[in-house]
Amino acid sequence: MTHATRSTPLTQLSEEESLFYSTVRQFAEETIAPKIRAMDDEQQFAQGLVERIFGLGLMGIEIPEELGGAGGTFFDSVLAIEAISTVDAGVAVLVDVHNTLCINALRRWASEAQQRHWMPRLATDTVGAYALSEAGSGSDAFALQTRAEAVPGGYRLNGRKLWISSAREAGLFIVFATLDPAAGYRSITAFLVEKGTPGFTVGRKEDKLGIRASSTCELIFDGCEIPEANLLGEPGKGYKIAIETLNEGRIGIGAQMLGLAEGAWAHAARYARERRQFGKPIAEFQAVQFALAEMATEIEAAKLMVYNAARLKDAGHPFVREAAMAKYFASQVAERVASQCVEVFGGNGFVRDYPAEKYYRDAKIGKIYEGTSNMQLATIAKQVLGGR
């Protein structure tokens, strides 16, 4: 694809990028939107929806064409996540984790044989999941208890993972385990674990506040034997794989929160034009106008930060600081905009017959997963005080 240059406003898209965003947005509005309420109630994706997402090419955006993907850019992935999130942030999680974490990890760290085996499947019919978190390792990401023991021909995994997005739908899991707990992060190792491997089961699904269509489950490893060919990268390099992919994943979450805020704003503005009080639309009252104007301003600022981080990543420039800032700020904006959306709707914003309350519930996770807001601030502080 062609891309905006540095002399071009960051939020201005090329013709190809604009067409791609519009196509995904139309898909979300026509295919996902009618199913939102049922998916939220039933806590699962509508039948056939995941297959439709694969069919549109949204699960292999950065996979090279020769391996069955679209041969796109990281920025393209960000646009897709943003567009889907305007309609349903829960569906966007599936696309986000698959593209920004799993595929990026395999592109950088998988062997040629692993890429030839997995990339065509990830592009066409196999959902990827990223299994790092545990009960005792949230923000302290490398305090892992899941153990990997070297055995003839490979490794044996024992332990549990928690909060794993897309666990119910996934066919491939990138699993992080420790070879020697005493060695700390230096023993963290990444493995490719296929669904159905003996000794591996997907456990309890969490009953969540928001993004309820997206499955979040525990993973259980009980003597799960993994062939040496399924080692991702080198033994002891799992921490590096995790850090690098999570830096990119934060931009994806920023895009998710940006799209959510845009969707909430659009509903609030539409309702303000339709809702009449004292003989005129509430959009004619200055208080409502100012609220919508402030929301729009914050959304534009968040978009600049998310797009800037994504374009820096694609250009091969340092982006860790910008990724942390984008994730931190976009999650703050999403929560504020979603809250204000509820208030614009008034009493109707507090009931499930209208869309406002779901945006509000979905927004909260943005400050928590893939690095809490405090962890982002810690990263930003280290970067800015260190001289970048």
Q: Active-site positions?
A: 370
List, in order, residues 6 or more apart from 239 with CB less than 8 Å away.
142, 185, 186, 188
Q: Which residue has the tokens 């153990």?
A: 147
3-state secondary structure of 371: coil
Q: How far apart are CA 226 and CA 202, in angstroms?
A: 16
Query: Nearest 5°: CA angle at 318, between 123 and 300?
Result: 75
Per-residue exposure over 210-225, b if at least 16 CB sit within 10 Å of its own CB, e if not: bbbbbbbbbbbbeebb
Hey, what are 201's tokens? 């089961």
The beta-strand segments (E) located in 166-250 are 170-178, 188-194, 200-205, 216-227, 231-232
Q: How far apart are CA 238 and CA 221, in angstroms?
A: 18
Q: Which alpha helices (H) appear in the chain, and where do they start and end?
A: 15-27, 36-42, 49-55, 74-85, 89-96, 104-109, 112-124, 238-274, 286-315, 320-345, 356-363, 373-385
